[in-house]
Amino acid sequence: MVAETRKQREIRRREEQILCIARRHLCEAGYLGLSMDRIAEEIEYSKGTVYQHFRNKEEILLALANAALETRTKMFQRAAQSTGGPRVRMAAVGAAAEAFLEQFPHFFIVEQIVRATSIWEKTSADRRQLMQHCESRCMEIIGGIVRDAVACGDLRISPGGSPEDIVFGLWSINWGAQTIMRSSDSLPEIGLPDPLGALRRNQNAMLDGHGWRPFSTEYDFNAYMDQVKQELFDHGG
């Protein structure tokens, strides 16, 4: 690996400073509160210097999303290496997904905003490709566990189905539930005092329905996921 030059280190540090300030502004004031002028004023560089690193605030948003996705990928990789059979390892990845959103709640805000067409089209192809690569890597990790389950006989894919179907199902349940949990304050009032528990039960019901052993009646996945979050991902992982 080639060592960074002094100039490269300075560029990287400035970009990290810009992203740190932008992340805070976004969390405090939302997308409309994020501006290149405010960032330049706080970082004490000229506006032109900020533009040398990021051509617009949409590019900053995508850079924030990519940084978060890289972190999530590492957490998934770590969880997937847990001991146990494929379904136990899948539960560990589920715990990693929960821990990621608990530790980096700004990610949900950033990713939902950046996926809007009006934002996405203003970003660079390189950063878009990096985001797509990180997403693909996460899906590959989960898909690999599904294939391991098929290979060892714990799971049989229905005719016409594929491992990607199961990956997509888990992704849909998790993403949808997390979106609702972060946008609704009335869940307890409609009979959902523990939406995270409901999410876990729905994921287990889906995998039980596919016949993936061990079933949730045979293994305490809830306790295991709590354990994984404590042992692997406390204090930022």
- DSSP alpha helix (H) spans, 2-124: 6-29, 36-43, 47-53, 57-80, 86-103, 106-114, 117-120
Asked whether the beta carbons of 98 and 196 are under 8 A apart, the reply is yes
How far apart are alpha carbons 31 and 48 in whole angstroms? 21
* Domains along the sequence of the chain with CATH: 1-54 (1.10.10), 61-236 (1.10.357.10)
First-last CA distance in the chain? 26
**pLDDT digit of tens for each residue in the chain (237 aa)?**
567 798 888 889 999 999 999 989 988 888 888 899 999 989 878 889 899 999 999 999 999 999 988 999 999 999 999 999 999 999 999 999 999 988 888 787 788 888 889 999 999 999 999 999 999 999 999 999 999 999 999 999 999 999 999 999 999 999 999 989 988 999 999 999 999 999 999 999 999 999 999 999 999 999 999 999 998 887 554
Question: 75 CB contacts (<8 Å, ≥6 apart)?
Answer: 96, 99, 100, 233, 237
How far apart are alpha carbons 157 and 149 in whole angstroms? 10
How far apart are alpha carbons 141 and 237 in whole angstroms? 18
Long-range contacts from 214-221, C-beta under 8 angstroms, 24+ separation: 214/85, 214/87, 214/154, 219/87, 219/88, 221/87, 221/88, 221/91
Shortest CA distance to 211 belongs to which of 79, 83, 86? 86
| Element at 195 (helix H, strand E) | helix 195-209
Q: What would you report as the CA-atom Rg of the chain, rounded to the nearest whole angstrom? A: 20
Neighbours of 21 (CB within 10 A): 19
How far apart are alpha carbons 4 and 10 in whole angstroms? 10
Question: 182 CB contacts (<8 Å, ≥6 apart)?
Answer: 105, 108
